[in-house]
């Protein structure tokens, strides 16, 4: 049975990606800062996917020690990781001139350091096997500045740069790195926004892209994927 880690998987895009992998026979490890949310998801999935091993571990991946501890616990159970989806992160708008002090640090920690720390701990096992696939959930905010993007956009630019560097480093080891840059996707964060769900993409669209990219031949890698709603960005 193949093994995957999906971060930021208690709701939204990450949860749907994890469910797609469980449907396809993967064992899956997830993490989150809320034990209550993790337990709710674990109970739901254990009923739906009784044959799969599911790990739900409390961790804040923006904190190095917690990210490393999470990785070590997963590797102790799984031994190998075939697929890593670095999806953890958050969005807070702002402008560089007047956003709250500390917002840059918060965005960089959650959106960049989480992927950096976890990847560093998982990579030795992938390199030893000379295979694996890492997906980093970037954004259209990684590609173009926009009003009120502020520190969030900075962090997503940085995550794309991390992905590009990691890909070059891992090519000799047959490990794939894919950056996914979606526009607006309907998740619980849009509740109450007044934006109709049919105007923007579905989380299942992102899960399908991950799954299809993972299933290419061993010699093929999709490096960067950009998805937008058919009517364009909001």
Q: Which positions are catalytic?
A: 152
CA 8 to CA 124: how far, in whole Å? Answer: 22
CA 130 to CA 126: how far, in whole Å? Answer: 6
Task: Specify whether the CB–CB gap between 10 and 36 falls below 8 A.
Answer: no
CA 182 to CA 225: how far, in whole Å? Answer: 8
Q: For residue 114, which of 133, 97, 136 has the smallest C-alpha distance?
A: 136
The pair of three-digit structure tokens given for residue 163, joined into one six-digit string: 């992905």
The pair of three-digit structure tokens given for residue 9, joined into one six-digit string: 């998987």
Containing 159, the helix (H) or strand (E) segment is helix 150-170
CA angle 214, 215, 216 (to 5 degrees): 100
Task: Specify whether the CB–CB gap between 66 and 59 falls below 8 A.
Answer: yes
Task: Specify whether the CB–CB gap between 171 and 217 falls below 8 A.
Answer: no
CA 226 to CA 131: how far, in whole Å? Answer: 24
């Amino acid at each position: 049975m193949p093994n995957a880690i999906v971060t930021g998987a208690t709701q939204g895009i990450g949860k749907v990606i994890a469910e797609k992998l469980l449907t396809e026979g993967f064992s899956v490890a997830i993490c989150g800062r809320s034990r209550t949310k993790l337990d709710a998801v674990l109970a739901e999935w254990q009923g739906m996917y009784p044959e799969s091993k599911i790990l739900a571990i409390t961790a804040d991946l923006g904190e190095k020690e917690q990210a490393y501890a999470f990785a070590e616990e997963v590797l102790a159970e799984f031994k190998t990781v075939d697929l890593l989806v670095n999806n953890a992160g958050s969005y807070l708008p702002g402008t560089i001139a007047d956003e709250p002090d500390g917002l840059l640090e918060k965005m960089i920690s959650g959106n960049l350091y989480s992927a950096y720390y976890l990847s560093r701990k998982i990579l030795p096992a992938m390199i030893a096997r000379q295979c694996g696939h890492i997906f980093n959930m970037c954004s259209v905010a990684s590609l173009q500045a926009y009003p009120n993007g502020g520190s969030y956009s900075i962090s997503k630019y940085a995550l794309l740069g991390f992905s590009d560097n990691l890909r070059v480093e891992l090519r000799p080891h047959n490990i794939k790195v894919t950056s996914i840059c979606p526009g607006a996707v309907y998740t619980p964060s849009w509740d109450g926004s007044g934006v109709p769900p049919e105007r923007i993409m579905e989380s299942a669209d992102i899960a399908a892209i991950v799954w299809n990219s993972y299933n290419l031949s061993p010699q093929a890698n999709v490096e960067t994927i950009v998805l937008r709603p058919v009517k364009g960005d909001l």
